Chain A
Amino acid sequence: MNIWRDIKGTIQPFWITLRNMFRPTVTIQYPEQRAEISPRYRGRLILTRDPDGQERCVACHLCSAACPVDCISMQATEGEDGRRYAAWFRINFSRCIFCGLCTEACPTLAIQVTGDFELANRNPLETVWEKEELLVDHCGQEPDYNFYRHAGIGVVAGRGENPGEDKPVDVRDLMP
């Protein structure tokens, strides 16, 4: 009968809550204990270097274009050897939503996410991170990748002389 089902449905939750009272809690007491961060956690952003110790960033603005909240801004400039880099690079972490789209857009794997999430600050201006603070001394999650071995600096070697590159095809030779 329906009324018995209703009565059972009213009594049963009481038993469940009472049982839960004597179970261990699942809370992590944060400052003392720390949660285990998953390897793919998207936290604070960093600018990594390539294995040679050079900056990876070529200031292509793709991360800044991909950013849904427009929190990345930079100024591009060129070194004497024709190498592009960022004159300044700025991430406003009070706007960042930690979506990781910038890392997906980056062609040189320069901008990467880390597991760090402790960005709270009393002064909102200090949540804006400059290039010096963002730049780290390691390769991040891709230790072997080196963009400049293949491309990037103004082509010095002449066409077709880079490693692994074919000679340019002379179209006039292709006559039948």
Chain B
Amino acid sequence: MATYIFYILGIIAVVATAMAITRRNPVHSIIYLVNSFFALAMLFYLLGAPLVAAWEVIIYAGAIMVLFLFIIMMLELSPGERADRQGPGPLQWLPVLLLGAALIGCTLLLLKLDPAGSQNIPTWYASPRDFGYVLFHEYALAIEIVSFQLLFAAVGAFYVGRAGGRKEAGGIK
């Protein structure tokens, strides 16, 4: 059973991503992308990593996509672009509806596999503690390097994005 769900989720993720990169309306493609992230999160859950699944939703669907959306809105692309607005035709809403229905169906199947709630996960299972232990013991160096890289990127972005040129910036201080 888990294998079927795995393949269905995989197909959902791929189709949603394909839809995301072919949409003309950026907000619609973000919705498809979020759909695909949900499918990915379910995949992680199926593989016994609920923590990673939760991070997938929180960070990718919840934070990064929100940032994307923020930038798209700042660009002032109106939803009423003529080419994309031939009424709510079935081509526009059917794919996302099907994908969403498939996702919900998979969730229900997962629930049915394990009716009491979520205690026993089908395949192998990593608790948050195990996950954290592995992350900060075995891969501590990699984590540190990545986090420093992010810090450098943040400092660099701050440096590049200062108001005005170098001279004005000095003047402001």
A contacts B directly in the complex (CB < 8 Å)?
no
Interface residues, chain A, with chain B CB atoms under 8 Å away: none
Interface residues of chain B, those whose CB is within 8 Å of chain A, are: none
